[in-house]
A and B are shown apart, each in its own frame.
Chain A
Amino acid sequence: MNILQIEDLCVSIGDREVLKGIDLFIPRGEVHTLFGPNGSGKTTLLSAIMGFEGYRVTRGKIIFNGVDITELPTYERARLGLGISFQKPPAINGVKLKQLAQICAKEDGKRLEEFAEMLNLKEHLEREVNVGFSGGEVKRSELLQLLLQRPELVLLDEPESGVDLENIAIIGEAINILLGKKVASTEEKSIKRIKEERKKAALLITHTGHILDYVDADRGHVLLNGKIVCSGNPREILSTIKDHGYEECYRCFKDEFKGG
């Protein structure tokens, strides 16, 4: 069964149509990556899936776990099991990271310290959320929150941007734990729980592809001008883009379009 099913989705920001008929299906347990040049609509797609204000769905629908969430407010989507790592999250003055982590954790607060330790964020727990955090600290703090929130589908908007190589490995590890692909060393879980967690899925935006050295992706999609123009093996797509740039995607798309 698909955990996420997006059908003919059109999204406008103000009067500008950014997404022009997106069809995207993510089966349980799969990791999909989204490639595309700046302005192609990648972040808009994630924002529309989360239901952020200003992203107006003009056509189509978003089905999450069999529920049509197209009209639901953001917090209800989060409560149904959607989570997002922001590319550039805002700073929240006066609110400590620990407070926010506790909110994310709900009843599962005992793992907070453990995850914070793993992500090298123990001292940041007492600091204000994202206030004066470096690029890497921001991304690790996003993953800390998500590890505690335990979403079934996680949207990752450039989780490695602004992160140095050493920290990309930590972020990759956190994503794998989040998706149940790797069991944290100190964890004692039933096999049932581990299997259940392997059904978790992700939709990942990456520019550099560095994160794919740590996280196995099942399928890749290329977004151009608000449309998915190509889907396939993520590593092949990435190497084509690296060698030939998105120009090749335009050419390929034109050929397909002519042929069809």
Chain B
Amino acid sequence: MGNEIERIVKEIKDEAPPRSEEEIKRLSEEERNLLLKTGIDILGKNRCGLFFQHDHSVIKCESMVDGVEVMDIEEARKRYGLEEYWWKLIPPDKDIWTKRAAEHQEHGYFIRSFEGAKVTYPVQSCLYLSMDRLAQDVHNIVIAEEGSELHIITGCAAGPHVRSGLHVGISEFYVKKGAKLRFTMIHNWAEEMAVRPRTVVVVEEGGSFESNYICLLPARDLQMYPTAILSGKDAVATFNTVLLAKEGSYMDTGSRVVLKKEGCRAEIISRAVSVGGTIIARGHLVGEAPGVKAHLECKGLLLSPKGVIHAIPELEGRTSDLDMSHEAAVGKIAKEEIEYLMARGLTEQEATSLIVKGFLSIDIEGLPDELKREIDGLISTVEKEGL
């Protein structure tokens, strides 16, 4: 895979023409549908804010309610400085991708919920790549101030004419005392794309962070290992990950939680289905304080003999009196389950499809219906191709 990514990076361009807000109106139906499938409803109403970055231009940035602000990160840095948040959780020289982002960064979002604000609808943020072979390097900062509640749906998508490209996303999230941040990210990339998100979240006392990550479309080379640091007492983190890899996709993803204080809890759940691609499903729990509780669950379903699923769950205890556990299973669908459903009148295909849907179903609150339907539809089609 090393050669693949070198080839992709060699071919990419760092410059894109500027885009204006008018572009939103000019989006074709095909493009709008594509964004819908990524959880972004450009014309919809059920949201409390929108951020839209088209290639290298932020073309829309708005907040519909008082409790939350949505800004271009450049604008936010000018206004607030943000020195205490900027490159504070991720060192710029961490790897070649963070270095790249530090040098090339073009925008990204700043989203903040104010102290005590409870935001009902999600803020939608979209990072859209419409040019083939373009590199997009963004840097995002999210702050959930004390006692606030915020839900962000981030859709990252490549346009219909994009085959190849590079997306690097630096994300630093701050969940303050007693705040709740739910972050749902859907990736719909193109077949030849390389994707390198770099995410670190810090959760203070009594705060909670929930991450939902869904990637069902192919990406040539995806690698990420988002980390939540539970720095205060009773902080909670949950990571739900749903992955589907077609032939030619390589996904190396994991979630890590560091539990630093008493009473911290964490849960990492991942569901991976391969219909020919390779998935490395990692998970890492680090328990540093007595009395913490955490569980890691990695389940993989192989629907093609060409596929590879490699589950790597890690538990790291750094003190006594910890309650950390993991559960990992990789295999194909049990014949008994298919026959059970066939005995109720389903064909083998229908039975398999229902089992796969069930396998991938994790209840994500606040997910738009279009997206739920899309996920179901996608599973069915990939299913047919895969068998």
Chain A residues with a Cβ under 8 A of chain B: 50, 52-53, 73-75, 78-79, 83-84, 86, 89-90, 92-95, 99-100, 103-104, 128, 145, 149
Contact = CB atoms under 8 A, between A and B. Distances in A.
B343 A83 contact: yes
Contacts of A86: 340, 343
A86 B339 CA distance: 11
A104 B342 contact: no
Interface in B308-367: 334-337, 339-348, 351, 354-355, 357-361
A93 B345 contact: no
B343 A78 contact: yes
Q: Lowest 8 A-B CB distances belong to which pairs? A: A94-B358, A95-B358, A74-B342, A78-B345, A94-B361, A75-B342, A90-B336, A90-B337
Contacts of B351: 75
Contact of B342 (A73, A93, A100, A149): A73
Interface of B: 334-337, 339-348, 351, 354-355, 357-361
Contacts of B354: 92, 95, 99, 103
Given A75-B348, A79-B345, A92 B339 contact: no
A9 to B, nearest CB: 19
A145 B344 contact: yes
A99 to B, nearest CB: 8
18 contacts: A52-B339, A53-B335, A74-B343, A78-B344, A90-B336, A92-B355, A93-B358, A94-B359, A94-B360, A95-B354, A95-B355, A95-B358, A95-B361, A100-B341, A100-B344, A103-B344, A103-B346, A128-B358
B355 A104 contact: no
Nearest to A94: B358
A11 to B, nearest CB: 16
B337 A104 contact: no
Contact of A75 (B337, B346, B357, B359): B346
Contact of B345 (A53, A92, A99, A103): A103
Contacts of A89: 340
Given A73-B347, A90-B340, 6 more contacts: A75-B346, A89-B340, A90-B337, A93-B358, A94-B360, A104-B345
Contacts of A100: 341, 344
A85 to B, nearest CB: 10
B339 A74 contact: yes
Contacts of A93: 358-359
A53 B358 CA distance: 23
Nearest to A52: B339
A135 to B, nearest CB: 17
Contacts of A83: 343
Nearest to A91: B337
Contacts of B360: 94
Given A93-B358, A94-B359, A50 B343 contact: yes
Contacts of A79: 345
Contacts of A90: 334, 336-337, 340
Nearest to A99: B354
Nearest to A74: B342
Q: Which of B336, B344, B351, B354 has the most CB of A within 10 A?
A: B344
A84 B340 CA distance: 9
Contacts of A53: 335, 339
Contacts of B357: 94-95
A75 B358 contact: no
Given A90-B334, A92-B355, A78 B340 contact: no
Contacts of B340: 86, 89-90, 92
A128 B351 CA distance: 15
Nearest to B337: A90
A78 B336 contact: no
A145 B344 CA distance: 8
B299 to A, nearest CB: 8
A128 B337 CA distance: 13
B3 to A, nearest CB: 38
B251 to A, nearest CB: 21
Nearest to B345: A78
Contact of B347 (A75, A84, A94, A149): A75
Which of B340, B346, B361 is the most central at the interface, judged by chain A CB atoms within 10 Å of its CB?
A: B340
A92 B348 CA distance: 15
Contacts of B355: 92, 95
A26 B361 CA distance: 43
B348 A149 contact: no
- Which among A50, A92, A145 has the greatest number of chain B C-beta atoms within 10 A? A92
Nearest to B360: A94
Contact of B341 (A52, A92, A94): A92
Contacts of A74: 339, 342-343
A33 B235 CA distance: 59
A149 B344 contact: yes
A50 B338 CA distance: 13
Given A53-B335, A90-B334, A90-B336, A78 B358 contact: no
Contact of A73 (B334, B337, B344, B348): B348
